[in-house]
Structure formats: C-alpha cells, structure tokens
Amino acid sequence: MSKITFMGAGSTVFAKNILGDCMVTEALQGYELALFDIDGERLRDSETMLNHIKNTVGSTCRIKAYSDRKEALRGAKVVINAIQVGGYDPCTITDFEIPKKYGLRQTIADTVGIGGIFRNLRTIPVVLDFARDIREVCPDAWFFNYTNPMAVLTNVLNTHGGVKTVGLCHSVQACVPSMFRQLGIDPEGVQSKIAGINHMAWLLEVTKDGKDLYPEIKRLAKEKQKEKHHDMVRFELMFQFGYYVTESSEHNAEYHPYFIKRNYSELIEKFNIPLDEYPRRCVNQIERWKNLRAELVNNPQLEHKRSGEYASYMIEAMETNVPYKIGGNVMNTGLITNLPKEACVEVPCLVDAGGITPTYIGDLPPQLAALNRTNINTQLLTIEAAVTRKKEHIYHAALLDPHTSAELSIDDIVALCDELIEAHGDWLPAYTS
C-alpha cells in the first residue's frame, strides 16, 4: 500500500483540502493517508472528518492517525508538512508585541522581517528532526513543504536535512487570477511566466494570443490606485520596478523599506497597510473554529470536491507519469542566474514519475534580482544562525533585513534580538555568543 503522511494534521481545514483531494482522485485509491499531530484532540478531529469524507465519496483510501511520529512516516511515498511551531499563543504574540516596544510594526511576520527570522529559528530544529526520521524510515519520500517561512525551510531540508523537498505556496496559483479579477480582465486563454523567490516572485510575462497584457494591466491599475483597495503596495511596486509581484500587499509591505515607517503614518493610510493583520486573523480563526468544527467534524454526510491545491495533482502525476506543471520552491541549481546558488528560488516545475524537474529561467531583470537579494541575505544568515547556533548570525540576519534595518539602529536591533531570544525561552535551542 502506498502511503501519504500529513505532518500537522490538526490543521483540519487544510487536511480536508489536501487529503480530501487525494480521496477523490482515481489514481490514488488504496493509499494510506497517515495523520500525525502533537495535539491529540485536533488529530482525532481530523481523523473523524476525513473518515466522513471517505464514506461519503466512497474512497478506498485508508485513514490512520498515529501517536508515534516515526511510525507515521515509515514507508511514506510523500510527506506533507503543514506545522506551525509555537502557534498564536505564545509565539506569534511574542513576534509582534516585543518589536512594537522598539517602534517596529509588522503585518504578517511569517517570512522575513524580525518575526519571520524567529519563526524560522523555532521551526528549523523541528523540521530537521523530521528529516532525521525520514532518512531512517522513508528515505525515498518526497517532502511537500507548505509551512512558512517557505524559502528558508525548503532550503534547510534540502541542504542540511538530506530530504527531497519542494516548497508549495498559493501565491503563484493566485497571482494572475486575483489581479485580473480586481482589474476586470478576463483570464481565459492567458499565458504567464513567474519566477523569483517565495512571496517575491515576479510576473515576468503575461500574454494572450501573443499580445503583451502589461500595458493594459498598468493602465487599469493606475485607475484602480485612485481609490482605496487591498492591493495598493503591489501596484506601487509594479509602477516603480516594472513587474507585478506574486504575494499580497500586506506581505510585501514588510519585505521592503518603503512602506511601514514610524514617522510617516500617512504612508500607512496612503497604501492601506493593515498593521497587525496576522494576529487579527489568528483570533478570528480561533473563534470561527468553534462553529466550523461542528460543520466538519460532526457531519457524517460531509462531502468534498477536488480543490486547486497542488499536492494531489502532483502525486497523481508521479503515479500516472502524466506531467503536471507547478510553481515550486527548489534550490537554485543555476536556474536563476543572477541570484545566489545557495538560495531557494520559486520557478515553474514539471512533475511526473521521475519526480520534480525545475525550469531554467536565466537572468531576472536586474532591479527584480536586486530586490530578491535583499531578502535572500536575511534568509541565508538565518540558516547560518540555525545551523551554527551562533547568536551573532541572528543579529546579522536582522541587521540586513530591509524593513528592520530601515527603522532601527544597530544597538536597538541587537537589543530587540536579545529580548526575543529570552522571551522565546525553550521554543529556541541554546545559542552561543
């Protein structure tokens, strides 16, 4: 029996999408869907929900929850990762509230920035533990990483974990449809090419019947920018740097030094930037779960239609050898020639029975590569900190972060890092000075 293992299966809604998709895919019938989570109650909820779907759709997949991580992984063909280390309380609260004391505001804090750095530092040891188990009990498995910070974790698993890993993010899939929707453009028959790094990949080409659509996109975006809307940062970046970026404006506001400024509150207003957005989402999700749990877990007639998530289509392609195209996060083995070879990049990839084959891109436009490198610097130094356990590299990562360094002095950045290290306590391993 082939086996798909879902790490962080207590993420019940996401487990429904990914594993529900597998259960309605003909080529994946008979698979074992192995569930693992450190939260026993949420694990049981997901097991119950998935069994409802299995019965409703008539799947022959087998649902099995595990309390032993290594046994959950044993013999897996694919491992899907959707964990969050530290959760909303205490770690997300810590990532937002302590920087506020220094005047440093954030929106999402899960990729780079000071919040992204510390989310990485507490998550890297956990995924490297996964990697040790995988090398022992399912060494040929593919690891599909959905967990943020995407670029760093995917990089670490490939370079230090010894595990075949691809990072999967929704931003590539959503980029063109969401932008066209808000500009009122018909997406039917549109061709696009996207490459860069996770959350800062670029819509390099967008055409229909051979015609470049960028002039019309920019014309409509100029009109749209005259009113308040949720995508003002991305449009401003497009006007200044020439290309539309994949990830949302609330994310990109904190990836650059231009938008969130202590003494320029008019910028926050001008670009409609939602400070503290992620904590609000967390609180709302916790509250919504009370009602959603009854709808999903206590509903024996629960149905499922295949979603657009990559995972089931990728496993199907591996099983059937019918190629499927994704936007994947992989190591930069000469794929984007003006980004560092040590970086994890996001490029088109083909999936089939041979695995995952990334596409050669060549040089990005120089201004786009330059913007990517500002974030890659922090990513690589965060990895250096996690691998060497040297505190100085935590400082280096923060000092080179575009938003943090634009707002705070060297002394304040070092003090902020020290305070965050202390506040995280046992969520972080020990670091040497």
- DSSP, residue by residue, 266-298: HHHHHTT--TTHHHHHHHHHHHHHHHHHHHHTT
Binding residue per annotation — 61?
A: no
Give the whole-angstrom CA distance, residue 127 versus residue 427. 14
Direct distance between the N- and C-terminal alpha carbons of the chain, in angstroms, rounded to an integer? 49
Q: Are 147 and 82 in contact (CB under 8 A)?
A: yes
Predicted pLDDT at 183: 98
Q: Which of 160, 170, 256, 403 is catalytic?
A: 170
Residue 81: φ, ψ to 5°: -110, 120
Token look-up 């083995």 returns 333
**pLDDT value, residue 271:** 98
- 170 classed as catalytic: yes
Q: Per-domain residue ranges for the chain?
A: 3-86+112-168
The Cα 223–Cα 333 span in angstroms is: 40
How far is C-alpha 187 from the chain's CA centre?
Answer: 25
CA separation for the pair 272, 309 (Å, rounded): 29
Tell me which CATH homologous superfamily contains domain 3-86+112-168.
Answer: NAD(P)-binding Rossmann-like Domain (3.40.50.720)
Distance in angstroms (rounded) separating the CA atoms of residues 13 and 238: 33
338 is in an annotated binding site: no
CA dihedral 173, 174, 175, 177 (to 10 degrees): 110
Q: How far is CA 358 from CA 194, 198, 234, 308, in A?
A: 12, 15, 26, 20
Candidates 303, 366, 306; CA nearest to 336 is: 366
Per-residue pLDDT of the chain (433 residues; tens, 9 = 90+): 699 999 999 999 999 999 999 999 999 999 999 999 999 999 999 999 999 999 999 999 999 999 999 999 999 999 999 999 999 999 999 999 999 999 999 999 999 999 999 999 999 999 999 999 999 999 999 999 999 999 999 999 999 999 999 999 999 999 999 999 999 999 999 999 999 999 999 999 999 999 999 999 999 999 999 999 999 999 999 999 999 999 999 999 999 999 999 888 999 999 999 999 999 999 999 999 989 999 999 999 999 999 999 999 999 999 999 999 999 999 999 999 999 999 999 999 999 999 999 999 999 999 999 999 999 999 999 999 999 999 999 999 999 999 999 999 999 999 999 999 999 999 999 999 8
Q: What's the predicted TM-score (pTM) here?
A: 0.98
For 299, the token pair is: 């509903």
Query: Does 148 show up as a binding residue in the annotation?
Result: yes
Residue 309: which region, alpha, beta or left (left: phi > 0; alpha: psi -120 to 50)?
A: beta
Would you say 53 and 59 are in contact if contact means Cβ atoms under 8 Å apart? yes
Specify the pLDDT at position 264: 85
Residue 263: predicted pLDDT? 85
